[in-house]
Amino acid sequence: MLREGEKVFGMINVSDCYTLSNGVKIPCVGLGTWKGDWQTPDTGEVARAVCAAVEAGFRHIDTASCYLTEEGVGLGVKECGINRSELFVTTKLWNDVRGYRETIDAFHASMKKLGLKYLDLYLIHWPNPAAFRDHWQEYNAETWRAFEDLYKAGDIRAIGVSNFYPHHLDALMKTAQVAPMVNQIRLHPGCATDEIVQDCRRRGILLEGYSPLGTGNLLQNPEILRIAEKYGKSAAQICLRWSVQREFIPLPKSVTPQRIQQNAAIFDFEISEQDMEILTNLQGELGTQINQDNANF
């Protein structure tokens, strides 16, 4: 157990920040808002989750145009009682949009739904959509040029990608003037594709982890439950603490206030190196990173 206020791995609570390669601060844990299925989410429920998260100390909210939660997040941001400048909001460009003009338009459509004047982080959601597979490199280059212009104009404070493997980043960097600051990929115990993690670290790209609880799959895992009992924490807290100790930004999704509070309470203990290894190497039905080059979306 740590003494009160003791700093582990540089972070003391969910609003404590890493610094991106452009100097922008990003809180070390964020609230996820993907429902986990493709049904339309309840905007009021999403807004209430954002308010509960802010109440629990969260200052970082993650959404995407395809999650259909941008309105709910925008409403929550408006109603949560915290200044916009204290919050870090991310959204993502979906796979049906590529190209310069199209990207600018999609960005403004997202901003309208969010009801925000500026965005903290904008991500290309996937590198190689099925609809653009014939020339994905060129499409991404034009899309990234739009990201860069929005960034230079001050509409976005940081830009990045999601689900990009090293070869997607190599292709992007052939024409990029501004390097991505973030790569958001699937990261949780049993799923931390070393090739991507090491590559991003070499490039100075910060890693965010979506589905940090394996969309819930990890919460019944016997090994995680055993470790959770040992530390007197929940399985969710063990998963999130593992992310923090690996210096990934986990984005746990929850619409349940008690769980949101629990997911913020992960800074008063430390997982031993041995247990970290066990968690990293977990096997089973936990979920894996998707290589989009041959996916049908």
Residues of this chain that interact with ligand A2P (CB under 6 A) are 32, 36, 211-216, 219, 234, 236, 252-256, 259, 262-263
48 vs 157 by CB, closer to ligand A2P: 48
163 vs 263 by CB, closer to ligand A2P: 263
11 vs 213 by CB, closer to ligand A2P: 213
Residue 14 beta carbon to ligand A2P: minimum distance, rounded to whole angstroms:
13
Instruction: Give the tokens for residue 51.
Output: 């308010």
Contact 186, 287 (CB under 8 A): yes
Instruction: Name 268's Cβ contacts closer than 8 Å, sequence gap at least 6.
Output: 1, 2, 4
160 vs 214 by CB, closer to ligand A2P: 214
DSSP, residue by residue, the chain: -PPTT--BTTB-STT-EEE-TTS-EEESS-BB---SSSSPP-HHHHHHHHHHHHHTT--EEE--GGGT-HHHHHHHHHHSSS-GGG-EEEEEE-TT--SHHHHHHHHHHHHHHHT-SSEEEEEES-SS-GGGGGGHHHHHHHHHHHHHHHHHTTSEEEEEEES--HHHHHHHHTT-SS--SEEEEE-BTTB--HHHHHHHHHHTPEEEEESTTGGGGGGG-HHHHHHHHHHT--HHHHHHHHHHHTT-EE--B---HHHHHHHH--SS----HHHHHHHHT--SSS-----GGG---
121 vs 213 by CB, closer to ligand A2P: 213
59 vs 186 by CB, closer to ligand A2P: 186
Instruction: Let me know if 67 is a catalytic residue.
Output: yes
Active-site option among 67, 151, 165, 210: 67
Query: How many angstroms separate the CA atoms of 27 and 129, rounded?
Result: 29
CB atoms within 10 A of CB 38: 10
Contact 193, 168 (CB under 8 A): no
Catalytic residues: 67
